[in-house]
Structure 1
Amino acid sequence: MFLFKGLESHPRSFVKAVSWRTVGSIDTFVLGLFFSGSAKLAGAIAGTEVITKILLFYFHERAWSLVRWGHRTEEEVAEAPAPVAAA
C-alpha cells in the first residue's frame, strides 16, 4: 500500500501538513472575513477546512512519495559533485 513506501516518514509528512494548513487556514479566514464581513462565518469556514485539507495533503504527499520522477537515489546523491562556493 502506498502509505508505507517512500523516504519521508509518516510523522514528517503529518507535521508538514499541519504547518502548511496553519498558513492556509489563516489565509482562508482572512479571505472569508473579507468576502463575508463576518468573523463568525470566516472562523467556521477556516475551522472546517483545516481538518479536510490536512488529510488531503497527507494523502497527496504519500502518493507523491511513490512517484520516482525527480527523486534521486542515495547513490546518486553520494556521487554528485560538491557545490562550488560563490566567490
Structure 2
Amino acid sequence: MKEKAYRSILKTISWRTVGTIDTIIIAYFITADPLMAASIGSIELFTKMLLYYFHERAWNKISIGKEKALEYNR
C-alpha cells in the first residue's frame, strides 16, 4: 500500500507538535528560562519537521516490512 504525500505531511505536523512540546519542557528544565526554551523549541520545530518529512517519504519507497494488499474479485 502506498501512502500519499499529504498523509506524510499530516503525520509530520502531528508528530512535531508532540516533539516540540517535549523539547520546550526539557529545555525549560535545563535552562529555567521560558524564553530560551521557546526559542529552542521554535528552531527545532522547523528543522525536525523537514527532516521527518523526507525521512517518511524515503521509507515509503522501501518495501521492508510491507505486505501487498489482497485484491478481491467480486
TM-score calculated relative to the size of structure 1: 0.78
**Which residue in 2 is equivalent to 1:9?**
4
Match of residue 38, structure 1, among 33, 43, 51: 33
Runs of 4+ in 1 over 2 A off after TM superposition: none
Give ranges in structure 2 of 5+ residues lacking alignment: none
Match of residue 21, structure 2, among 23, 26, 33: 26
State the shift of 1:26 in Å. Answer: 0.4
Give 1 or 2 for the bigger CA radius of gyration: 1
Q: What count of residue pairs does the alignment treat as equivalent? A: 72
Percent identity over paired residues: 40
Match of residue 55, structure 1, among 43, 50, 56: 50
